[in-house]
Chains A and B, each alone.
Chain A
């Protein structure tokens, strides 16, 4: 069975703090894809990253970074020097190879960044 767990329901930080959002997944597949999406209060889903299971290199994009560890089935997301505009719900998702349009989403983590 495929499953994504985001154990942190809500996180509140003060602006400029670093924050890490946890994502743990379950799959028996050897090939799969992991995603992170941001859903701001306006409701649209903003794509942040897709990573395939064969690429364990960490990714950095500006203030965002992702740590993929197959050994612990985790794909954590860190925001450095958080800003108020980072306030949103963040979703981690899993897709099987060959079915990359069929995403299994975690429950989401609500991040509130206070000024």
Chain B
């Protein structure tokens, strides 16, 4: 069966510090991968999606970036965090051609 992992579960970082969040998927090959952010009281916002290694599409301009160094690994990064980067970051995967997305447990990021 397929599983999706995210770490860390929670993170407190100072403004201006770098960020690296990791997501890995097991039990499937060549998944579509997604990074979302959920701010308090707001819907999930798609940040990036990837259909293959090294292929990243950015949905919103921001100081975040994403990379997919391996088929089942998706990384979200920032060189300098802003207060507004606080939120709940969710990674998701889907089978190419399928509409159903499966979410990881998420990382709660608080930037102080």
Whether chains A and B associate is: no
